[in-house]
Structures are given as C-alpha cells and as structure tokens.
Structure 1
Amino acid sequence: MARVAVVGAGLGGLAAAARLAALGHEVTVLEQAAEVGGKLGWFSRDGHGFDTGPSLLTLPQLYRDLFTATGAALDDVLDLVPLDPAAELRFPDGTRLRMPGRRADVPAALDAALGAGVGAQWAALMRRAEDMWRVAEEPFLRSPLAGAATLARLARNPADVATIAPWQTLRGLGSRYLSDPHLRTVLDRYATYSGSDPRRAPAVLATVAHAEQEFGSWYVRGGLHRLGLAVAERAQARGAVLRTSSPVAQVLLEGDRACGVRLASGETVRADVVVAAGDATALYRDLLPADRRTRAVRGALARTTPSLSGFVLLLALRGRTPGLAHHTVLFPEDYDAEFDAVFGGRPVADPTVYVSAPDDPATRPDDDSESWFVLVNAPRHDPAGGVDWTAPGLADAYAERVLDVLARRGLDVRDRLTWCVVRTPADLERDTGSVGGSIYGTSSNGARAAFLRPANASPVPGLFLVGGSAHPGGGLPLVALSAEIVAGLVGPA
C-alpha cells in the first residue's frame, strides 16, 4: 500500500483518487477551494442554479467504467439524459441548424437546413473521423506518453499515419470534405473544445465531432456538477480522505523522488506518490524546483500556445423562451477574426456566443423563469502582455457588449433580466489555479502540440499528472482517461 497525495479535487484528481483508493492505496486529496469539483463548478442564488464549467457529457461509458472499477454503477447514482437536439446552431445569414443528438439523423437534418447533398459530405467526413478514432484511441488516448515510442506506436502502419494526417489542420480537413461554408464553421467549432484555433489545430480533432455524434451528448439531471460530487463520493467510499481549503505550496522531494507536499499553512503531508491534478504549468512553475529534472518539460511548455479562456455571464431571467434548445450557438460574421483576437490577446469584438439553458427544475426557482450560462471565447488573463481582466470597468463593459450581441442575434433578454453575475478569465485563474484562466492548459495549436503536452509520468519519480492540462487533454472524456492512465502507472497496492 502506497500513501498517495492528490493535489487538486477537480474531476481528474477525484477520478484518480477513486481508482487508486479502489486499488488499495491510502489516498488523501488536498484541494485549495472550499468545495470539490474544480472547473466542474456550480453557482446558485435566489433559486437559480448554473453549471459553471462543462455543460454536456460525451462518452459516458468512460465514467461507467470508472464507477464499475470503484464498486458502483453510474446509472444507480446519476440520471443521464440524452440531448436531442445536441444544439441549435444559428448563423449570421439567418440559417438555423438543429443538430440531432444521434449520428443516423444528422445527414437528413443537414440536407433540410443547408441543401441536398450536404449531409452526405458530413457523413463522409465522420467516416474519416471514425477511422482516426480507431487509429488513435489505444496507442495514444489510452496510453501514457512515451516520447519517441509514442510516435513509433502511431507510425507503425503507414496507412494509419495517412488516416491521422498529422500535417493537416482541422480547417484543411473541412475544406477537403465540405463545400458548404456553414458546415465548415460547424467543424471549426470543435477546435474550441480543446481551446484551439481550427487553422492551426490538427485534423484529428474531427474525432471530437465523431465521439459526440456516435456516443451522444448527455446531460446530468440536476447539473453536470453532480458528476464531480458523485466521483468524490466514490473516492470517499473506497477510503480516500478529502481535505478542502488546503492549498498546496510545494511538492517535496527527497533525493530525486517526490516524497509528499507542503501546504500553505506549513503542514507537511508525507506520501510515497504525489498525483498533481491542477494546472501543469503552475505545477512546474510554482511547486517544483527549476532544475535539470524539469528543464525539458518547462521548455516544452514554453513552446506551446496556452489554450483560450472564457468570459461568462450567469443570467437569471424572468419568463421562458419558446423553443429554446439546451444548447444554442450564435456564430459571428467573421469567425477567423475571433481566433485572431483570442490568440492575439484581445477581447473579441463580435464573438460567438454559447448559451446553455437546461430545462431542469433544479436550475430555476419556478416554471416561469430561466437560468442561462452564457459563454464567449476570450483571451486568458495576462496583465503583463495581453488583457488585464481586472482592469476597472472592463468586465462590466464587455458584459454589456455580450448582451448587445445576444440581442442583435435574436435573443434579447435585457428586459427579462433579474440579475447577472460576470466571471472573467481572472476569476477562473483565482478559483481553479489555471494559469491565466486557460481552460485546457495548453492548446492543440500545431502538429506537435499533443506530444508537447505534459506526460502523466513526470520526470520526477513518484510524481504523476492527471487532468485536462496533462496527457491526453482537456474535456470530461479525456480527463477520465488521464485518471485511468495514472492509476495504471501507479499500479495496485
């Protein structure tokens, strides 16, 4: 039995803690915040409730596997609801597309909204994405990074390399398969699922669209945050100890090996294994010494582009919006200008607006009200070289801009607004420890970005990384896989 200290109680840390406790280890989870969940948060006021992180779950089987491995059935604990449509997509020319939740229904919906033949093009692209998924899943997504050995696994078959096409961008893939500009915009959006720019992100991100349509989009009744609470309960049921309001100030080393952590209070927690579940950049910058052991990783991180962040409005509204989907996406006139601004360190003048409005009594005080989570892509908080989101008046002024954009695109809620809470990238950084509020740590911009992402096994023996800023990446499915990988690396007691 090893003593394991897990730094951070986001979903990755909780999932790793549950798996390691089920393997027989003595696990302690140390979380800086007063509550568990990390980016999978929840805000409530006056009967209104909001998920403040992910708003849908894909690949729920990965969490069913997690719960099975830790002694429970997911569906006995949570009520998963399939979303159909998965989202309503609205374009600046007035075109609307209600994207079905089931893959078989998508081509017909595309033909009806965008014209005959468009659905067949998308279907052909999804067949390619399915092939990409088959090639990448086992040797990359479900396996730890191993430098050149990982590349060798992926390159063992030239046909597989051609399928993945690591030299091609997501934008380039869309241009090859899709003639309709609306549909190319739909594909571009999947780059934002990893905080990336479709003009620089690899074509393999088309697998995100495949997974969403093949395995469905799901909502957890009561809010997605309940998934984090349920995983925390699994960890505790297997014996893990959860300590909130316990920020870690340093990972302790003895010789060349991790031997525990020191809390900000000065308390030392000894451990045989440390699992870092927070932001990888913060780990290597703030919690570890800058010496030969970490030089290569810090250099790799310096060569990556941080992921985009998000600017959020939590809107408490009077009345109901007829026909409103669970997710609504309002695209701008110039999508490229949005990516230019975000990765150029500027707030977006005319952003894509994402509205999540679950039809769930748990999110509203009564049936004549709504609670909207409104998100726009935003540059990270970077007072030294980009946007200082704490600058006086900036957040409030930008919130008004977002409300104006909503109104121009047909969702004017200003006369129904009871109150609005604004959350900026600076708030995300403060609340979760994510450097600059980058949602996914590093982006997938660049053909080699995935291989520059910090590995689950650090160069310091006994120190492992889990969560969205480590391999294999961000998003609820990949976070679950990172926990599975780490548990396999540590092994049973």
Structure 2
Amino acid sequence: MARVVVIGAGMGGLSAAARLGALRHEVTVCEQAPVVGGKLGRFERDGFAFDTGPSLLTLPAVYRDTFFKTGAPLEDVLDLVPVDPAFHYRFADGTEVDVPNASRSGVRAALDSALGNGAGGDWEAFLDVAHRIWQATRGPFLESPLERGDLVRLSRRVGDLRTIAPWRSLRGLGRRHLRDPRLRMLLDRYATYTGSDPRRAPAALAVVPYVEQAFGAWYVPGGLRRLGDALHERALATGAAVRTGADVAEVLVEGGRVAGVRLADGERVPADVVVANADASHLYADLLRGPEARRELRRLRRATPSLSGFVLLLALRGRTPGLAHHTVLFPERYDAEFDAVFGGHPADDPTVYVSAPDDPALRPDDEHEAWFVLVNAPRHEPGAGTDWDSPGLADAYADRVLALMAERGLDVRDRVLWREVRTPADLERETRSPGGSIYGTSSNGPRAAFLRPANRSPVPGLFLVGGSAHPGGGLPLVGLSAAIVAELVGKA
C-alpha cells in the first residue's frame, strides 16, 4: 500500500483517486478550489442551473468501468439518457439537419435528405475508415501509456501506420472522402473537441465522430455535473480523503523521487506517489523543480496550445419550439475562424454552439430556459494576443455573439433575463489552466500526440492524469488516463 497525493479534483483526479482507493492505497486529494469537479463545473442563480463544462458523455464504457471496479455499477448511481437528435446543424446557406443518435442508417437518411448528392453514403464510407482508425489506435495508444520510443514502435506496424496516416490532416481526410463542403465542415468541427485546427490536426481524430455515433451521445438528468458529484462520492467511499481549498505550491523531491507536496500555507503532505491532475504546463513550470521539469517544459513549448472558449450562460423567459438539446450554427467561412483563434484574436464570425437541455432541473419552471452558449476563442495572453480582461471586451463580444445568433435564426435578445459571461481569463483563474486552454496542448501537427506529456513523468513516483496528459482531453480520454495511471502505480 502506498501513500498517494492527487493534485486536483477534476474528473481525472477523482477517477484516479477512486481507482487507487479501491486498490487499498492511502489517497489524499488536494484541490485548490472550494469545490471539486475542475472544468466539469456548475453555475446556479435564481432557479436556473448550467453545466459550465461538457454537455454530453460519449464512450460511457470508460466510466462504467471506473464505477464497476470501485464499487456499485454506474447505472445504480446515475441515469444515462440518450440525446436524440444528437445535434441540430444550421449552415450559412440555410440548410438544416438533425443528426440522429447512434443510428448509422438514420444518419445516412438524414444527411441524404438535407444535403443530397449521396452525402449519407459518403459519411457512412468515412465512418468505415474511422472505424479502422479506432481499431488501430484504441488498445495500443488510447488505453495504454505513451512511452518514449512509441513513435518508432508505431512506424514498425506498417498496416496500422497506413490506417492511421499520421501525415494526413483531418481536413485532408475529409476532402478525400466527403464531396459536400457542408459535410466537410461538420467533420472539421470535431477537431475543436481537442482544441485543434482541422487543417493541422491528424486524421486520427476521425475516431471522435466515430465514437460519438457508434456508442452514442448521453446526458445525465440534472446535468453532467452530477457525474462529477457521483465520482467524488465514489472516491470518498473507497477511503480517499478529498481536501478542498488545499492549494499545492510544490511537488517535493527527495533522493531522486517524489516525497509528497507542499501546500501554499506551508503544510507538507508526505507521499510515496503523486498524481498530478493539474495542467502539465502548470506542473512543470510552477510546481516541480529541477532539470526534468525544464526538459518537459521545453517539449510542451514545441506544441501548439489548445484553443479556449468564450461562454454565455443565458437565463431566458419563454420556450423555443422545436429546440434541440444541441444546436450548432456554422459561419460561411470556417477557415477565417481558425485563422483568427489560432492567430490570437477573437473570430468576428465564429461557429456558435448552443446547449439547451430540456431538463426541468435546470430551470425555475416550464416558462423559462437555461442556455449554455459557447464559441471557440483564443487563449488569454495579455501582451502577446488577446487580453480578455480588457475593459469592455467581454461584454462587447457577448453582444456580438447574440447578434450572430439572431442573424442565424436564434434571436433571443428580447428574452434574456440575465446573462453570465465567462472568458478564457476566467477559466484560467478558476482552473489554473494557462491562458484558459481547455485541453492543454492541441493536436495540431503529426507529432502532436507524442509531444503531449506522458502519464509517467521523468521523476520516479510522479504521474499525470487529465486533459493535458496522454491520451488527451474530453471526458472519455480523461477517464482513460486515470485507468492507465492506476495500473502504472501498481507496477511502480
């Protein structure tokens, strides 16, 4: 049995704590914020409630495995309900399409009806390619630790190398298989799931739409935040101690391996193992001293940081007929958005994403709605890019987003009771994610996966979980990172 300190009570940290607690390790979680959950946040006011992080769960098998291996099954703790349609898309030319949940035949029919020109067949053929990529990457990479030399190992598996095609971008894969430009735009959006640019992100990201459509899009009544609460309770049930307001200031190293952590108030918490659910850049720049940290930081700086997000939480009077759970409003020129965001500037005409669950638990009564509105945004970088704390910028951009929604058929400006604006600067303050990057580093470039920090750090006894570490961001991959680390700790 080892003494384990987990830095951060995000989904990766809580998953790791529950798994390690179930393996009878002595686990203490130190979270700097007053609440747990990390980016899986929640905001409540006047009877309205909003998830401020993910709005759907894909690949629920990851969390089913977590709960099964730590106690009662997930379905004994939470209800999971399918989101159908999974998404409603509106394009600049006025075309609209509802994409059914977990139905290849339904998706094919919907795309053929809305886009014509054999669009459904093209998408189905693309999914066949994505399935082969999933088969090639799932076990060896997504469910396994990424170690030095794995790029060489991949290159020796010629069949898998041809399938994954690391030299091809997601945009290039779309052009190869999808004739309709609107269908390619739909595919491009999945690059933003990892904070990336589809023109530079690898074709391997085709697994994202494949997983969503093969295993379904799911929601937890009451909000996705309830998944985080359930995971917190599970960690406690396994014996883990979860301390909020416990700000870790340093990872302690003695005799060449970790010895615990020092909190901001000076308290030392001894440990044989430290699991960092902090952003990897924050870990290696601020919490860890020594040459190993400097080397890892140099590697991280060779990667492109992920994009961030600009959020509006809207409390609305009245109801919207026919409103889907998820609505995506595309611009006319998607590339202009990526040029702006990765160039460090807010896009003038961004894609607008609306999450509006028809969930009575999120509104004061049936005469109101709670909307979470998100647009891709550049990181908070005062002096080098966008300073989101500049006076008036956030409110002006919020007005711009509402105006764009109106232009694209969702005008709610006269229904707004109040709005809460959240910028990348706010995300940085709340989660210690540098610049408010949602996923640490992006997947831009063919070597991006190998620049992402490994789960086993160069310092013995120090491990990384969460969206900034291997295998990446998003609820499923964060859960997989915890499973990987739990196994590594057992072998340490």
Q: Where on the TM-score scale, by shorter chain, does this alignment land: which range?
A: over 0.9
1:92-491 paired onto structure 2 within 5 Å: 92-104=92-104, 105-148=106-149, 150-289=150-289, 291-491=290-490
Take 2:397 and 2:161, find their aligned partners in 1: how far apart are those partners?
A: 44
* 1:447-484 Cα deviation digits (max 9, x unpaired): 00001000000001110000000000000000000000
Q: What code does the residue aligned with 2:490 have? A: G
Q: Which moved more, 1:291-300 or 1:60-69?
A: 291-300
Distance 1:492 1:233, change over 3 A: farther
The TM-score, its normalising length taken from structure 1, stands at 0.99
Query: Is this contact kept in 1: 2:360–2:366, CA < 8 A?
Result: yes
Aligned to 1:19: 19
* 1:230-285 Cα deviation digits (max 9, x unpaired): 01111100000000011111111102111111111111111110000010000000
Take 2:29 and 2:383, find their aligned partners in 1: how far apart are those partners?
A: 33
Take 2:238 and 2:160, find their aligned partners in 1: how far apart are those partners?
A: 40
1:39-78 paired onto structure 2 within 5 Å: 39-78=39-78
Q: What code does the residue aligned with 1:101 have? A: N
Q: What code does the residue aligned with 1:266 have? A: G
Take 1:299 and 1:390, find their aligned partners in 2: how far apart are those partners?
A: 28
Q: What code does the residue aligned with 1:63 have? A: Y
Take 2:113 and 2:292, find their aligned partners in 1: how far apart are those partners?
A: 57
Take 1:393 and 1:385, find their aligned partners in 2: how far apart are those partners?
A: 19
* 1:179-221 Cα deviation digits (max 9, x unpaired): 0010000000000000000000000101000000000000011
Q: What code does the residue aligned with 1:33 have? A: A
Take 2:339 and 2:156, find their aligned partners in 1: how far apart are those partners?
A: 37
Deviation (angstroms), 1:351: 0.7
Take 1:101 and 1:278, find their aligned partners in 2: how far apart are those partners?
A: 33
Q: What code does the residue aligned with 1:109 have? A: A
Deviation (angstroms), 1:293: 1.8
SS at match of 2:427: helix
Take 2:371 and 2:129, find their aligned partners in 1: how far apart are those partners?
A: 35
Take 2:202 and 2:347, find their aligned partners in 1: how far apart are those partners?
A: 23
Deviation (angstroms), 1:151: 2.3
Q: What code does the residue aligned with 1:242 have? A: V
Query: Is this contact kept in 1: 2:22–2:238, CA < 8 A?
Result: yes
2:76 equivalent to 1:90: no
Take 1:328 and 1:205, find their aligned partners in 2: how far apart are those partners?
A: 22
Query: Stretches of 4+ moved more than 6 A in 1?
Result: none
SS at match of 2:57: coil
Take 1:42 and 1:97, find their aligned partners in 2: how far apart are those partners?
A: 30
Take 2:215 and 2:483, find their aligned partners in 1: how far apart are those partners?
A: 20
Q: What code does the residue aligned with 2:394 have? A: A
Take 1:424 and 1:179, find their aligned partners in 2: how far apart are those partners?
A: 36
Take 2:57 and 2:429, find their aligned partners in 1: how far apart are those partners?
A: 25
Q: What code does the residue aligned with 2:414 have? A: D
Identity of aligned residues (%): 69
Query: Is this contact kept in 2: 1:24–1:492, CA < 8 A?
Result: no
Take 1:227 and 1:24, find their aligned partners in 2: how far apart are those partners?
A: 23
Deviation (angstroms), 1:153: 3.8
Take 2:291 and 2:268, find their aligned partners in 1: how far apart are those partners?
A: 25
The TM-score, its normalising length taken from structure 2, stands at 0.99
Take 2:95 and 2:246, find their aligned partners in 1: how far apart are those partners?
A: 50
Take 2:131 and 2:461, find their aligned partners in 1: how far apart are those partners?
A: 36
Take 2:291 and 2:434, find their aligned partners in 1: how far apart are those partners?
A: 23
Deviation (angstroms), 1:158: 1.1
Query: Is this contact kept in 1: 2:285–2:293, CA < 8 A?
Result: no
Q: What code does the residue aligned with 1:134 have? A: Q
Query: Is this contact kept in 1: 2:9–2:30, CA < 8 A?
Result: yes
Task: Compute the RMSD of aligned alpha carbons.
Answer: 0.9
SS at match of 1:354: strand
Deviation (angstroms), 1:116: 4.1
Take 2:103 and 2:202, find their aligned partners in 1: how far apart are those partners?
A: 23
Deviation (angstroms), 1:492: 7.7
Query: Is this contact kept in 1: 2:251–2:261, CA < 8 A?
Result: yes
Query: Is this contact kept in 2: 1:310–1:375, CA < 8 A?
Result: yes
SS at match of 1:155: helix
- Count of residue pairs brought into register by the alignment: 491
Aligned to 2:10: 10
Q: Which moved more, 1:165-174 or 1:153-162?
A: 153-162
Q: What code does the residue aligned with 2:487 have? A: G
Deviation (angstroms), 1:294: 2.4
Take 1:438 and 1:146, find their aligned partners in 2: how far apart are those partners?
A: 24
